[in-house]
């Protein structure tokens, strides 16, 4: 990925949105580059594609709540996709993100975060449409093969954006054309999800047929990512045999494989294979991570912009605020507890022996921060009674409390800069999508098709890697599969989506989330369509989702 141009291209691909973007207005010389002169050759089209990658990374870099710009980090985009579930709550909900804890009136059509997410995803769709339309019109110097590849990559992103939209909002408008000042539409219609699925299937099948099996360079989408999302889509459509065939095509295709042995830069340090792929310098396919299907590229202080990530900020406890321990590189840097594990995730998901020891690498101390050892440097700020060398264990047994800053947390996002251990953001490459997720989708498809023997086979491939006890077909039901997804994909997969796909979100959130459980309702399965869109659609009345 050419990181030198990404930040510039985000502006270019946002050109021509229905709503005027402040990011465009802020540019000093917007007249120098526009779609008409950008999309003339391969370099121009690839610049546009890099803009799509930058927009996709918004999921983990956030958007500015006040200005709606991509690339800032104070909006809880990830929380809208993972929070308020059986596994994820928040000890530090802020302003309009409080709905993932308190729900009720906090979740409404005027919610700023949900408006920004809607606009972000339609910006991506419009940017993809611009690339697709202009690559297909022939008014450029691309070869036929180059045009086909660019279209396939852009269609992947269009399908990816509609995936988010349909999970979050249900029926949504379909847009297939470049939007600009000459074709403003004010009579959009929300299309049934079945129609959106059909578009997603068409786009993803093109991506599967055309995209490279291995990355052109780090961060670029591969065929396997399209196969993965097509597998998931077929499950959503009830086409379980197609899901199995597509997922197994990826798993057995020979280009990707589960990480089952230690590898990479850290094999001389204690650890487990499961966690090696999350460590800086090990995440990319080129670095030995054969499980990687998509890795978000980040880098600090590069010319033209920064790729950055909020996952540590979201998922790591603020142990300094909690008990006064110093922030360090080894401790993973500074967290803020924006999102954290429920007691169910910490106490009830992993198998344990009679003494309470977790019998699963995914629940081990290598995967979860369970304690800290006090050092001499801590003594000046320590808020608890302890001495140098003492072990401070984090409690997982008491009822969850708001502003509980000393809490067991995942170590998947440990990273900070040595020259600034208080750094708020991550600038290391981040594993976004991996093959283990596909294994679990195939297991889900087999289960729904009535073949629990095959479902257990795919689940056991992950349990064997984690040194967990193997299961049999009689153990498999949808709740077991969802628990296995929790063990394998906590803080990675979009937990809300997995629960909704299986009609389990309300039931399991009520059962296992002590904060959200008592207040969530049937209405909350879908988020409200933003009021700003409804008000601007003057040519057609838009009904919101039930209950809003």
Instruction: Tell me the per-residue pLDDT of 128-154, one tens digit each, with 9 for 90 and over.
Output: 999 999 999 989 999 999 999 999 999
Q: Say if residue 114's pLDDT is above 50.
A: yes
Q: How confident is the model at residue 67 (pLDDT cuts 50, 70, 90)?
A: low
Give the pLDDT confidence of 231-250 residue by residue, as tens digits.
999 999 999 999 999 999 99
Look at the alpha carbons of 277, 282, 288, 290 in this order and tell me if their dihedral is positive or negative: positive
Q: Say if residue 4's pLDDT is above 60.
A: no
Paired tokens of 461: 């491939």
Identify the pLDDT of residue 200. 98
Identify the pLDDT of residue 18. 38
Give the pLDDT confidence of 219-228 residue by residue, as tens digits.
999 999 999 9
Q: Say if residue 70's pLDDT is above 90.
A: no
Distance in angstroms (rounded) separating the CA atoms of residues 364 and 488: 12
Q: How confident is the model at residue 440 (pLDDT cuts 50, 70, 90)?
A: very high
* Angle ∠(351,357,359) on CA atoms, nearest 5: 40
Distant-in-sequence, close-in-space partners of 139: CB < 8 Å, separation ≥ 6: none
Distance in angstroms (rounded) separating the CA atoms of residues 24 and 29: 10
Mean pLDDT of 494-522: 97
Distances (CA, A) of 45 to 12, 58, 153: 11, 21, 11
Q: Is 409 strand, coil or helix?
A: strand
Identify the pLDDT of residue 92. 77
For residue 364, give the nearest of 379, 351, 374 by alpha carbon: 351
Distant-in-sequence, close-in-space partners of 96: CB < 8 Å, separation ≥ 6: 65, 106, 111, 112, 113
User: Which secondary structure element, helix H or strand E, spans residue 240, and what is its range?
Assistant: helix 240-251
Burial class (CB in 10 A: 0-12, 13-18, 19+), 306: middle
Identify the pLDDT of residue 14. 35
Least confident span in 64-78, 182-196, 518-532: 64-78
pTM over 0.85: yes
Mean pLDDT of 107-119: 92
Instruction: Locate the DSSP E strands across 297-388.
Output: 299-302, 305-307, 340-341, 368-369, 371-373
Q: How confident is the model at residue 265 (pLDDT cuts 50, 70, 90)?
A: very high
Mean pLDDT of 350-363: 96
User: For residue 307, what are the β-bridge partners?
Assistant: 299
The CA dihedral of 382, 387, 390, 391, to the nearest 10 degrees, is -20
* Angle ∠(59,63,65) on CA atoms, nearest 5: 140
Identify the pLDDT of residue 81. 94
Q: Say if residue 23's pLDDT is above 80.
A: no
Distances (CA, A) of 259 to 58, 256, 318, 365, 434: 27, 9, 31, 19, 10
Give the pLDDT confidence of 84-108 residue by residue, as tens digits.
999 999 887 777 778 999 999 999 9
Place of tokens 């399965």: 525
Contact 104, 88 (CB under 8 A): no
Q: Say if residue 541's pLDDT is above 80.
A: yes
Q: How confident is the model at residue 183 (pLDDT cuts 50, 70, 90)?
A: confident
Q: How confident is the model at residue 65 (pLDDT cuts 50, 70, 90)?
A: low
Q: Which residue has the higher pLDDT, 306 or 319?
A: 319
Identify the pLDDT of residue 167. 98
Distant-in-sequence, close-in-space partners of 370: CB < 8 Å, separation ≥ 6: 393, 394, 408
Q: Which domains does the chain have, with CATH numbers?
A: 1-548 (1.25.40.390)
Q: Say if residue 388's pLDDT is above 70.
A: yes
Give the pLDDT confidence of 398-435 residue by residue, as tens digits.
666 677 889 999 999 999 999 999 988 889 999 999 99
Distance in angstroms (rounded) separating the CA atoms of residues 59 and 73: 10
Distances (CA, A) of 203 to 10, 87, 230, 280, 381: 22, 32, 9, 33, 55
Count of other CB atoms within 10 angstroms of residue 386 = 18
Mean pLDDT of 433-443: 98
Contact 514, 343 (CB under 8 A): yes
Q: Is 378 strand, coil or helix?
A: helix
Contact 123, 86 (CB under 8 A): no
| Beta strands at 88-89 and 292-296: parallel, antiparallel or unpaired | unpaired
Q: How confident is the model at residue 9 (pLDDT cuts 50, 70, 90)?
A: very low
């Amino acid at each position: 990925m050419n990181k030198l141009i990404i930040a510039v291209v985000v502006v270019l691909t946002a050109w021509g949105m229905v709503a005027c973007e402040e990011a465009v207005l802020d540019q000093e010389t917007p007249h120098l580059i526009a779609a008409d002169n950008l999309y003339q050759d391969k370099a121009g089209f690839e610049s546009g594609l890099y803009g799509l990658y930058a927009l996709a990374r918004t999921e983990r870099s956030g958007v500015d709540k006040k200005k709606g710009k991509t690339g800032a980090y104070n909006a809880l985009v990830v929380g809208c996709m993972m929070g308020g579930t059986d596994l994820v709550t928040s000890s530090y909900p802020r302003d309009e993100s409080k709905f993932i804890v308190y729900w009720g009136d906090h979740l409404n059509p005027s919610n700023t975060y949900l408006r920004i997410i809607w606009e972000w995803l339609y910006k991506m769709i419009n940017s993809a449409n611009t690339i697709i339309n202009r690559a297909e019109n022939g008014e450029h110097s691309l070869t036929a093969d180059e045009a086909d590849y660019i279209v396939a990559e852009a269609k992947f992103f269009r399908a990816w954006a509609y995936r988010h939209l349909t999970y979050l909002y249900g029926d949504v408008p379909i847009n297939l054309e470049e939007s600009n000042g000459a074709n403003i539409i004010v009579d959009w219609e929300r299309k049934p999800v079945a129609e959106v699925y059909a578009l997603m299937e068409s786009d993803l099948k093109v991506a599967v047929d055309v995209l490279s099996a291995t990355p052109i360079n780090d961060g670029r989408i591969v065929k396997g990512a399209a196969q993965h999302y097509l597998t998931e889509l077929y499950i959503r459509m009830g086409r379980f045999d197609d899901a199995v065939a597509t997922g197994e095509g990826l798993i057995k295709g020979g280009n990707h494989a589960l990480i089952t042995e230690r590898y990479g830069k850290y094999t001389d340090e204690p650890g487990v294979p499961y966690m090696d792929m999350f460590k800086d310098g090990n995440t990319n396919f080129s670095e030995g991570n054969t499980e990687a299907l998509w890795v978000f590229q980040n880098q600090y202080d590069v010319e033209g912009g920064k790729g950055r990530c909020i996952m540590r900020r979201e998922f790591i406890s603020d142990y300094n605020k909690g008990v006064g321990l110093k922030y360090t590189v080894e401790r993973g840097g500074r967290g803020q507890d924006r999102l954290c594990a429920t007691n169910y995730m910490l106490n009830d998901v992993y198998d344990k022996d009679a003494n309470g020891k977790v019998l699963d690498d995914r629940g081990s101390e290598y995967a979860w921060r369970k304690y800290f050892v006090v050092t001499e440097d801590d003594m000046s700020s320590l808020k608890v009674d302890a001495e140098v060398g003492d072990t401070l264990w984090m409690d997982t047994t008491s009822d969850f409390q708001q502003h509980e800053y000393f809490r067991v947390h995942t170590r998947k996002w440990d990273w900070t800069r040595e020259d600034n251990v208080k750094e708020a953001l991550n600038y290391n490459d981040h594993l976004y999508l991996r093959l283990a997720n596909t294994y679990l989708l195939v297991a889900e498809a087999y289960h729904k098709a009535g073949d629990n023997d095959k479902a257990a086979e795919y689940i056991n491939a992950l349990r064997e890697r984690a040194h967990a006890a193997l299961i049999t077909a009689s153990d498999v039901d949808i709740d077991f599969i969802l628990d296995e997804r929790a063990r394998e994909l906590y803080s990675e997969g979009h937990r809300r989506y997995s629960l909704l796909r299986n009609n389990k979100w309300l039931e399991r959130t009520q059962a296992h989330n002590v904060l959200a459980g008592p207040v969530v309702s049937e209405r909350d399965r879908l988020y409200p369509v933003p009021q700003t869109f409804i008000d601007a659609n003057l040519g057609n009345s838009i009904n919101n989702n039930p209950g809003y």
